[in-house]
Chain A
Amino acid sequence: MDRMPPWADALLVPLISLVLAAILSALVIIGIGEDPVAAVTLMVKGALGSTYGWGYTLYYATNFIFTGLAVAVAFHARMFNIGGEGQAMLGGLGVALVCLYLPLPHWTVALVAAALGAAAFGAAWAYVPAVLQARRGSHIVITTIMFNFIAAALLNYVLVNLLRPKGAMDPATAKFPEGTHLPTLHDMLAPVGIEFSKAAPANVTLLIALLACLAVWLLIWRTRLGYEIRAFGHSETAARYAGISPVRITVVAMLISGGLAGLMALNTTMGEAERLVLNSVEGAGFIGIAVALMGRSHPLGVLMAAILFGFLYQGGAELALWTNIPRELIVVIQALVILFTGALDNMVRMPLERLFLARRKKEG
């Protein structure tokens, strides 16, 4: 009852956080002698002003949807999966193996097969920390972050020593065969008469990401498993009372989480690079944490937050390209947004809650 209305909780709080982050960013930009208004204009134009910009924004957003959902599912079971990075790396390996070694006649078949491979590898990478947590009590935060390093080292070894084509100089696999190339938004929108940039990497994986949002929503709020995951997340004692096995829920939730993180590789590895390169995840696993926090672990919130971070990524790249604002400062701005929307959530929420209570009292 001592709550503010849901719209304020879901929209107003992140909005105010964003404004605060923007003000601080503006101060930083002024501090190095640049014009913040011009910078914002450039970011908006660069990220949203053309289909090229949108193509990149949505491409990044696709990554963040997957990793954001991954973190969100684990959150519902009160687990902090910060291993999205490593799980996505392994997902890439799954995609590469499927695409390189299975005879795939058409991209639709390839997409399904690669999705299974990506999810399976990502889930497998989450399985070990999950079992360690469930049976041995090893803290999932520690184990998943360590598994990120192991994943990076493993991928390095596999790419350099096993999958690198003979004579190639960079640690990457061979190009995937033609049949596995995914249609980009350009390819998909051309038949309906919409001109979309050919150079932008956004591809059919975006639709898979949207489907994933729907699937996660159904899973969490409409299925028995989701009911058990949330119950376990709220109270382990109560879950035990109801006959919900903590071990089972821990493992299952982490498998789903890892699988979702792994699916991200469809976008980067299959959709964009069309081969597995060393650093294909590019920190998206960590951005997923901010996305899930800002999106309140709700698929719709995750979707919106992912698009916001996609915008920041693409807009930031444009800034670095066209202004004297150095690349590092872009990271500072992104970090400020993460700090305000994620870590400092309560700083805005608490005073706002009090404000609403005070107002309601006056009315009542």
Chain B
Amino acid sequence: MTTAPAIELRGISKAFGPVQANKDISIRVERGTIHGIIGENGAGKSTLMSILYGFYKADAGEIFIGGSKTEIPDSQAAIAAGIGMVFQHFKLVENFTVLENVVLGAEDGRLLKTSLSKARSELKALASDYGLNVDPDAVIETIGVGQQQRVEILKALYRQADILILDEPTGVLTPAEADQLFRILGRLKSEGKTIILITHKLREIMEITDTVSVMRRGEMTATVKTAETTPTELAELMVGRKVLLRVDKAPAQPGAPVLQIDGLSVTDSAGVQRLKDVSLNVRAGEILGIAGVAGNGQSELLEVLGGMRTATGRITMNGQPIDLTGKQSDGQSRRARGIGHVPEDRQREGLIMAYSAWENSVFGYHRDPRWQKGALMDNAGIESAAQEQMDRFDVRPPNPRLAARNFSGGNQQKIVVAREIDRNPDLLLIGQPTRGVDIGAIEFIHKQIIALRDEGKAILLVSVELDEILSLSDRVAVMFDGQIMGEGPAETATQVGLGCLMAGLGGDDTRDMTGWRITDAATIEEGTPDVARIEAQLADRHADASKEV
């Protein structure tokens, strides 16, 4: 049987000003397959999908859906053509129920009730067909992230989507939730749906796709059968050269404790306790990695240490206590105490996007008398220092006058990392160092972090990427629900064990992690927890957390 491909793109090009985001891209996505699209940040994946979903208009090229040429001027047309999109950031109305969200925008008639009851029966059918079980009457803000994602998928299916595009779907999920998602995707595939999965995670590509297309610098460099390729080959195709997936580093030579945290607690403005009696220490010359699913208190920990949030408890830096609530608890005082901070969100925190690179190169250190010239700032001096710094940290393009927003994610991050490392801090806080950063820059940033460690500095690393935690850290601590679940050497940590701790569970899987101290909070559950139970627990915790908000 010869069927037309579900989607065929021919010669798609799209430019934004001088930037060629998509260059003559042709791709065939066969019906009933899972097709992965992988590429570095800025490779043009999102642009391509936006063209397919009618957000952008291609400068050249043709789109064929199910064999017939189709114009997609807007997302309404994309939906009509049977394309559904699940965005990385969900587009759900938080205080609506699942049912209301599914119907939103697809109501028929003036009365809501008929649409809702029709949708209810349809949801039931979809749930049994694809294993997409969600309580239709649950309010979005009370259900977990994984469940919310299912609602997004249901929305697309309710609109008769035959082709589903998922943009970085696992970014916010726990390993267990991701597994569940993959099972659903497998089910959808077996029912004849076509799925396009955009991701930068090689493991996911290998795990569930049938075919994979690699994009680099706006071009489609290869389309291969997943079964006939290897992660290493894909990584090479992505960056166009051999890359190190492992980080080379010598064993740590830890010295005296630099940072000591004792009984740290944080309650946010809504009265929710975000950190519960956290105790940790980081020694000179070691990297402590904090693993955990996003939103379990890691951000708050960084914010307290970086002087962006007040807290109770006791923190000492080189033996001297630091102020947690008073006048000395701001970012300026922290920097004066030798704490450098690469924040989790460089675009909202670490950089002023409208500022030029040189202005950003002193952001947070702009009060340094070095940059004063009488009553004014020494702009010329800052600019030449920034130029020199950009050359050393290989920021591209090396133009200090360019606004931060005009740099790619990786180069933005390099600007932040360069600024913080160049102050030679005793302690470097570093949050999500490589989020949205391309592989080339990841390598560079990782090397900088290790070099700083080898100089005998203490480093506190927070990342939601388990691979990153495991490859960089000397010691690892896992956070869940504002508490430390366990802590131990990175060598003996296992993916499965960490996964359980990240879900707030102890149990057998953590037993063989020698040298690990598992806290009481994590040891309530005994025996090997099955995925379903972890899931249920997670959903509960998510629900609790969001209710409190």
Chain A interface residues toward B at CB < 8 A: 1-2, 218, 222-224, 227-228, 230-231, 234-235, 237-238, 240-245, 357, 360-361, 364
Contact = CB atoms under 8 A, between A and B. Distances in A.
A35 to B, nearest CB: 45
Interface string B138-168: 0000000000000000000000000000000
Contact of B355 (A218, A231, A243, A244): A231
Contacts of B343: 241
Contact of B377 (A1, A224, A241): A224
Interface in B343-358: 343, 345, 348-355
A240 B331 CA distance: 7
A108 to B, nearest CB: 24
A227 B367 CA distance: 10
B352 A238 contact: yes
Given A243-B331, A243-B334, A227 B376 contact: no
Contacts of B345: 237
Contacts of A223: 375-377
Q: Closest 3 interchain pairs by CB? A: A243-B331, A243-B332, A242-B364
Nearest to A364: B18
A245 B355 CA distance: 19
Nearest to A228: B366
Contacts of B376: 218, 222-223
A1 B18 contact: yes
B200 interface: no
A242 B363 contact: yes
B17 A361 contact: yes
Given A237-B348, A241-B341, 7 more contacts: A222-B377, A224-B367, A238-B352, A240-B331, A243-B333, A360-B17, A360-B18
B366 A241 contact: no
B366 A235 contact: no
Contacts of B16: 1-2
B372 A1 contact: no
Interface string B362-376: 011011000010011
B375 A235 contact: no
Contact of B366 (A218, A227, A240, A364): A227
B54 to A, nearest CB: 18
A243 B307 contact: yes
Contact of B331 (A222, A235, A241, A357): A241
B335 interface: yes
Given A235-B352, A241-B350, A245-B330, A357 B17 contact: yes
Contacts of A361: 15, 17, 59
Interface of B: 15-19, 59, 306-308, 330-335, 341, 343, 345, 348-355, 359, 363-364, 366-367, 372, 375-377, 379, 406
B16 to A, nearest CB: 6
Given A223-B377, A227-B377, A241 B17 contact: no
A361 B14 CA distance: 11
Nearest to B405: A1
A218 B379 CA distance: 12
A241 B349 contact: yes
B55 to A, nearest CB: 15
5 contacts: A224-B366, A235-B348, A242-B363, A245-B330, A360-B17
B310 to A, nearest CB: 12
A240 B353 CA distance: 15
A234 B363 CA distance: 13
Contacts of A360: 17-18
A228 B363 CA distance: 9
A360 B17 CA distance: 7
B417 to A, nearest CB: 15
A242 B331 contact: yes
A242 B18 contact: no
A238 B332 CA distance: 13
Contacts of B353: 234-235
Contacts of B355: 230-231, 234
A3 B375 CA distance: 33
A223 B352 CA distance: 17
Contact of B308 (A2, A227, A241): A241
Contacts of A241: 306, 308, 331, 341, 343, 349-350, 364
Nearest to A222: B376
A238 B306 CA distance: 12
A242 B366 contact: yes
A24 to B, nearest CB: 32
Nearest to B331: A243
Given A241-B306, A241-B308, A242-B366, A234 B350 contact: no
Nearest to B402: A1
B359 A227 contact: yes
B220 to A, nearest CB: 22
B352 A224 contact: no
A243 B353 CA distance: 17
A223 B350 CA distance: 21
A197 to B, nearest CB: 39
Contacts of B332: 242-243
Contacts of A228: 366
B331 A238 contact: no
Contacts of B359: 227
A241 B18 CA distance: 33
B221 to A, nearest CB: 23
B306 to A, nearest CB: 7
Scoring A222, A234, A238, A360 by chain B CB atoms within 10 A of each residue's CB, the highest score goes to A238
B459 to A, nearest CB: 18
A360 B19 CA distance: 11
A222 B382 CA distance: 12
Contacts of B364: 241-243
Nearest to B375: A223
Given A238-B349, A242-B331, A243-B334, A224 B372 contact: yes
B366 A1 contact: no
B7 to A, nearest CB: 26
B30 to A, nearest CB: 34
A244 B335 CA distance: 12
Nearest to A218: B376
A243 B377 CA distance: 18
A11 B442 CA distance: 42
B322 to A, nearest CB: 14
Contacts of B367: 224
A230 to B, nearest CB: 8
Nearest to B308: A240
Nearest to B346: A238
B335 A243 contact: yes
